Amino acid sequence: MNRRKFLSASASMMGTSHLWSQANDRVRIAVIGMGGRGNDHLKVFSKVTNCEIGAVVDPDGNRAEKAAQWVLQNTGKRAAVESDMRRVFEDKNIDAVTIATTNHWHALTAIWAMQAGKDVYVEKPVSHNLFESEKLVEFARKLNRVVQGGTQRRSYGVFRKAMKMLHDGAIGDIYQAKWIFPGRRDSIGYKPIESPPSWLNWDLWLGPAQMQDYHGNLVHYNWHWFWDFGNGELGNNGIHLVDISRWGMNKGLPVKIYSTGGRFGYKDQAETPNTQTVTWTYADGSEIIAELRGLYTSERMSWDFFGSKGHMHIEGDGKVAVTMGRNKEPEPAFEPMPEVNHYANFVDAIRKRDPKLLHAEIEQTALSTSLCHLGNIAYRLGREIHYNPETGRFINDSDADRLLSRRYRAPYVIPERA
């Protein structure tokens, strides 16, 4: 991934198509992927002023029909029902899409949508590999699209305030960020190979992945734990914590990555680790350290930032404590910034044709997602890896370079050029 291409493209972020004449014009959205997050999208976007759910898409016909019923019952309007997202991209009445598919579909869905002139809200992790992260930013810039990532804490008032404090030097020069995510997950067991169910379009579900046998641990949630489709817990929930850590440190891509872990406590069908530790080291020696615990623990999700003057601790519920120097007692609590509706922020940026208004513009979420990919590459290779952010390649490491992308299955191929 070429850091100069990845990071310097910000200069051309103003779109010119779909110019709305009034700030309250209707925005029609298609929701793609009707699992837990997709249904959340229905609920939150249907409450955004003058935003309409125009279509629901899922290769599982049962889920798509159920989603359409929800739209009708809760908004009084009918949404088109599709199994193939490409039909929605052809619909000129759809202004934007939200993407809550399996991870391996995120980038291609977003790119196809951008090519069709749609703006995009894409859930985390926004890509399945580093090549896709680069392409998402490249296409957003070249096609002048408004693209928001699903790292919602960037709109939370307490995090916005805490990050501003860090950037303003509240605890001095930050040399380390550390976070922990306690997943507390059980074994997924084993599911037999069988024919795909009649209600599922298996070819569309597989999409960019190679053709393979169906088993029940893939549909619908446990695909997270298989490398062809998901990115393990690091990409599933860890992306939120990576994003806050990188934001607070104001960093881009690291130069050295090391990861250990495994699937402990049981044997099951899954491939990704249920326990993982990752260290990302930057050129100046500063680092981000992650701990993902898949088994049972009383620990709580949290972030820590360590600086030359003090320490900031943030709990998962947003409670913040700052201690300075050798003090043991925290500083007085601060007033958070106002809360911002992450989804309304996306719609507002569409109406104003200004991606700079976005709290999680695709460049930032793609960078954080790429740290997850780097951590997983180090884990899969079982050793430290050295990355050059300027060239987007690993240093004298062809095995690591091979994991920058994947082998795509036609016609579900990431385009090389916008």
What would be the CATH architecture of the domain defined by 157-187+223-337+371-404?
2-Layer Sandwich (3.30)
Instruction: Count Cβ atoms below 10 Å from residue 17 Cβ, excluding itself.
Output: 10
Tens of pLDDT, residue by residue, the chain (418 residues): 444 444 444 334 333 344 443 445 899 999 999 999 999 999 999 999 999 999 999 999 999 999 999 999 999 999 999 999 999 999 999 999 999 999 999 999 999 999 999 999 999 999 999 999 999 999 999 999 999 999 999 999 999 999 999 999 999 999 999 999 999 999 999 999 999 999 999 999 999 999 999 999 999 999 999 999 999 999 999 999 999 999 999 999 999 999 999 999 999 999 999 999 999 999 999 999 999 999 999 999 999 999 999 999 999 999 999 999 999 999 999 999 999 999 999 999 999 999 999 999 999 999 999 999 999 999 999 999 999 999 999 999 999 999 999 999 999 999 988 7
Closest CA to 99 of 111, 117, 87: 111
What is the per-residue pLDDT across 202-223, written as a single tens digit (0 to 9) for each? 999 999 999 999 999 999 999 9
Contact 300, 182 (CB under 8 A): yes
Biggest alpha carbon distance in the chain?
64
Q: Which two tokens stand for residue 329?
A: 């007692």
Are the folds of 3-154+342-360 and 157-187+223-337+371-404 the same?
no
Lookup result for tokens 């998901």: 230
Q: Classify strands 385-388 and 256-262 as parallel, antiparallel or unpaired.
A: antiparallel
Query: What whole-number distance in Å separates Cα of residue 332 and Cα of residue 130?
Result: 41
| Domain range summary for the chain, segments of one domain joined by + | 3-154+342-360, 157-187+223-337+371-404
With respect to CATH, is domain 3-154+342-360 assigned 3.40.50.720?
yes
- Classified as helix, coil or strand, 118 is coil
